[in-house]
Amino acid sequence: MLRKVLHGLLIGLLSAAAALLFSHNGWLEWIENSTWDARVRHLARPSQFTDDIRLILIDQASLDWGEDELSFKWPWPREAYEPILAFCKRSGAKVVAFDMLYTEASAYGVEDDDIFGAAIRAAPPFAGVLWLSRSSGTAETWLDGVPRRRGRFGTMHSPWQGAMQYASFPISQVATNAALLATVNATPDTDAIVRRTVAFQVFDEQPVPSLGLASWMAAHPDETVSPLLERLDVGKSATVPLDSEGNAVLRYRGPSQTHKAVSAAAVIQSEMRLREGGTNSVSLEFLRDKYVFLGVTAPGLMDLKPTPISEVYPGVEIHATFLDNLLAADFLRDVDKRSSWMLVFAYALAAGVFMRFCVTGWQAVILFAMGAAVPAGAGFLAYANGYWLRVADPLASAMFALLGAFIVNYATEGRQKRFIKNAFRQYLSHAVIEKLIRDPNHLKLGGEARELSIYFSDIQGFTSISEGLSPENLTALLNEYLTAMSDIIMEQGGTIDKYEGDAVIAFWNAPLDLADHPVRAVRSALLCQAKLAEMRPLLRQRAGRDLFCRIGLNTGKVVVGNMGSHQRFNYTFLGDAGNLAARLEGVNKQFGTYIMVSDFTRSRIKGDEFRFRELSRVQVVGRKEPVQVYEPMFPEAARERAPVLQTFDRGLQLYYGGKLTEAVPVFEEIAKLDPPAAAYVRRCRMLLEHPPAGLWSGVWEMTEK
């Protein structure tokens, strides 16, 4: 056992090291990303703050309306946004954030830009956008005339890694009138899917918030935002956990437009109608005291991003999701590397050790399934509690460990298992072989006391049958008969002890525990007789006569185990209970029956699966105490024979009472239909002619085996 544990631990250590190497090289990212996306999709739920955010979308319908009704080509003139900003002001929106770049002057002239700037100045606090880059842009320093710090950013605690070298600022009408300028740079993973986003970026030593953060800062101008290495403290209570690159892991709320949305065309129409004294189609309450984001969703405008939720997800909704996470303070955070590595090693060690103790294919399959299911389940549980727990690393370590231990098992214990199977399959039942495989220490002499239900069967008149057949035909006949009987016994959980010519000896409740072993034994006997009846016409052609078998069943304590010499032994039993079963098989001859069950078996069977006809109280050869014996049958057969069985029982009670003269005519009524009744007619007449000495007991004493 200790050797297996050590093997498993060594396999686990090597597997964990291999998994971490794979992870370091990025070879497991496709697994991790796929499992993460599954977690996001299944656990995405709105928060209590989701309804505080609204979207105004420039969708395809808005583009079509603008072109058809106003002759607007894209990009729209900037005066088209004036009604949108005015409606947000009229509605009492808390903040308006435009996910759009305005880095070049309007093609419609300066007046168009001035109208837009005036609308921004008159609107609720406005968050605009600038573009930051490491490779290109129109400015390398903060522009003169554009305030460097709007919103209250605390002091940077250290130079922030990954600062941007270039910026493209919006036109002055936007830059000077906006409450804040924000970055909208996406940070997709290597597979281009957006799972994280920047909380802020740095340009010219100036922290620039993301659009989602900027919208919160514009609504809370007196609150301070403090950038730290591993987190961003927002206001007095909110914290944004950051990874090593300054990104926040998003907790998506659901499919597109989980945050309620309205088309830009509908907002413009509502504002214009209100100005004309008409009725607005968009309710003012829809935007009241809400954070409002404007963005584009028309496919041709190229602001659709792949996310875990969908391959096509509006970019503006990513910023809305950031704000939602900020308001709910439920950003996800990475589990620290130390804890992740400890989990990888612990899981790999456990997998290696457990697999070394697997002895069956099913155990290996279950362990492999658990090896995959446990990390996945832990990943879902961690997500629900706010953590990104890497699933791919422990999953890979477990699979490596399980595969390694499986190979070691096959190379070492597999050889032993194959030897045991090949050596004993001709002598032992499959169940016994499996028990030996699980514990080869059973390959020694010795036994244990157990209660068994024991089965003895023999073919009636087999000696004369065998004399009329050639050895080849006799062998073929026996093989067909024994195979059919053995299959039934094995299907019912029995163990074949041995074959003695045409005789079958079997038992139940060893080596495997079977609480209902008496039921299984009786059921097997009845099914064997039914199968033999089905085979009888074919066997008649081979044997030249009908084949009948007699079965004796008894239940009792015996010693069961490996019996024999140190060189050769068999899994069998010893004990008086087995002797009684063998005697009852022979007692069938006296009654003309084919199954006889002792009261020891009968008394342990509950329920109504069988009916039992009491046959007699017999005293078998070699046994002083008499035993009550029964003939079992299925309920259907008992119902068909009910009149005969009732008459027999009436005669049997007269016989037990010593009223032999009265019993004879009762038995004679059914003697031609019922062999046991005929046997009692003969017995009663013999006793009337030769009365027994001493007191009458009703016991039928057997004089031969």
Instruction: Report if residue 416 sits inside a domain.
Output: no
DSSP3 helix / strand / coil % (the chain, rounded to 5): 45, 20, 30
**Which domain, by its residues, includes 512?**
445-640
Q: For the chain, first and last CA: distance in Å?
A: 51
Orientation of helix 642-656 relative to helix 675-689, angle to 10°: 20
150 close to 179: Cβ distance less than 8 angstroms: yes
398 and 464 together in one domain: no
Query: CATH number of the domain that 521 lies in?
Result: 3.30.70.1230
Q: How confident is the model at residue 163 (pLDDT cuts 50, 70, 90)?
A: confident
Q: What is the reported pLDDT for 420?
A: 57
Instruction: Report if residue 659 sits inside a domain.
Output: no
Give me the percent of the chain exceeding a pLDDT of 70.
93
Nearest to 175, CA basis, from 144, 218, 141: 144
Per-residue pLDDT at 436 exceeds 90: no
- What is d(CA 503, CA 539) in angstroms, rounded to the nearest whole number? 17
Among 613, 640, 667, where does a domain finish?
640
75 and 152 together in one domain: yes
394 and 281 together in one domain: no
Instruction: Report if residue 611 sits inside a domain.
Output: yes
- What is d(CA 306, CA 301) in angstroms, rounded to the nearest whole number? 15
483 and 355 together in one domain: no
Q: What is the reported pLDDT for 677?
A: 97
Q: What is the reported pLDDT for 441?
A: 60
Instruction: Report if residue 89 sits inside a domain.
Output: yes
Name every residue whose Cβ is closer than 8 Å to that of residue 355 and which is 6 or more positions away in sequence.
8, 11, 364, 367, 401, 402, 405, 406, 409
Q: What is the reported pLDDT for 397?
A: 94
Give me the percent of the chain exceeding a pLDDT of 90.
75
Per-residue pLDDT at 368 exceeds 80: yes
Structure tokens at 6: 């050590």
Number of compact structural domains in the chain: 3
Q: What is the pLDDT of residues 597-617, one digit of tens each?
A: 999 999 999 999 999 999 999
Q: What is the reported pLDDT for 419?
A: 59
Distances from the Cα of 427 to the Cαs of 433, 495, 584, in angstroms?
9, 11, 26
Instruction: Report if residue 664 sits inside a domain.
Output: no
277 and 383 together in one domain: no
- What is d(CA 51, CA 358) in angstroms, rounded to the nearest whole number? 53
493 and 535 together in one domain: yes
Q: Is 515 exposed, middle or buried (0-12, 13-18, 19+ CB in 10 A)?
A: exposed
Q: What is the pLDDT of residues 625-641, one digit of tens each?
A: 999 999 999 999 999 99
Q: Specify the residue for token string 């961690």.
A: 382
Q: What is the pLDDT of residues 650-703, one digit of tens each?
A: 999 999 999 999 999 999 999 999 999 999 999 999 999 999 888 999 999 988
Helix (H) / strand (E) element for 317: namely helix 315-328
Q: What is the reported pLDDT for 427?
A: 45
Distances from the Cα of 421 to the Cαs of 362, 417, 430, 432, 561, in angstroms?
17, 6, 9, 10, 18
Nearest to 49, CA basis, from 259, 242, 257: 259
Structure tokens at 331: 């950003």
Structure tokens at 479: 């093989």
472 and 620 together in one domain: yes
Instruction: Report if residue 560 sits inside a domain.
Output: yes
Q: What is the reported pLDDT for 153?
A: 81
Highest mean pLDDT among 36-50, 216-230, 397-411, 434-448: 36-50
Q: Report H helices in 109-154.
A: 110-122
Among 396, 411, 426, where does a domain finish?
411
Among 615, 640, 665, where does a domain finish?
640
Instruction: Report if residue 510 sits inside a domain.
Output: yes
87: left (phi over 0), alpha (psi -120 to 50) or beta: alpha
473 and 598 together in one domain: yes
Q: What is the pLDDT of residues 61-108, one digit of tens each?
A: 999 999 999 999 999 999 999 999 999 999 999 999 999 999 999 999
Per-residue pLDDT at 424 exceeds 80: no
Q: What is the reported pLDDT for 340?
A: 92
Q: How confident is the model at residue 160 (pLDDT cuts 50, 70, 90)?
A: low
Instruction: Report if residue 397 sits inside a domain.
Output: yes
- What is d(CA 212, CA 124) in angstroms, rounded to the nearest whole number? 16
Q: Report H helices in 429-516.
A: 430-438, 462-467, 471-491
Per-residue pLDDT at 445 exceeds 60: no
174 and 262 together in one domain: yes
Q: Is 674 helix (H, G, I), strand (E, B) or coil?
A: coil
Q: How confident is the model at residue 442 (pLDDT cuts 50, 70, 90)?
A: low
66 and 136 together in one domain: yes
Lowest mean pLDDT among 145-159, 189-203, 416-430: 416-430
Q: What is the pLDDT of residues 525-576, one digit of tens each?
A: 999 999 999 999 999 998 989 999 999 999 999 999 877 765 566 778 999 9
Q: How confident is the model at residue 426 (pLDDT cuts 50, 70, 90)?
A: very low
187 and 109 together in one domain: yes
Per-residue pLDDT at 435 exceeds 80: no
Per-residue pLDDT at 165 exceeds 50: yes
113 and 66 together in one domain: yes
Q: How confident is the model at residue 705 (pLDDT cuts 50, 70, 90)?
A: low
Q: How confident is the model at residue 438 (pLDDT cuts 50, 70, 90)?
A: low
What's the one-letter identity of residue 19? A
Q: What is the reported pLDDT for 185?
A: 85
What's the one-letter identity of residue 17? A
- What is d(CA 490, CA 590) in angstroms, rounded to the nearest whole number? 29
Distances from the Cα of 5 to the Cαs of 284, 378, 505, in angstroms?
70, 25, 42
Q: What is the pLDDT of residues 18-50, one digit of tens each?
A: 999 999 999 999 999 999 999 999 999 999 999
Q: What is the pLDDT of residues 237-263, one digit of tens each?
A: 789 999 988 899 999 999 999 999 999
Per-residue pLDDT at 55 exceeds 60: yes
Lowest mean pLDDT among 443-447, 582-586, 657-661, 680-684: 443-447
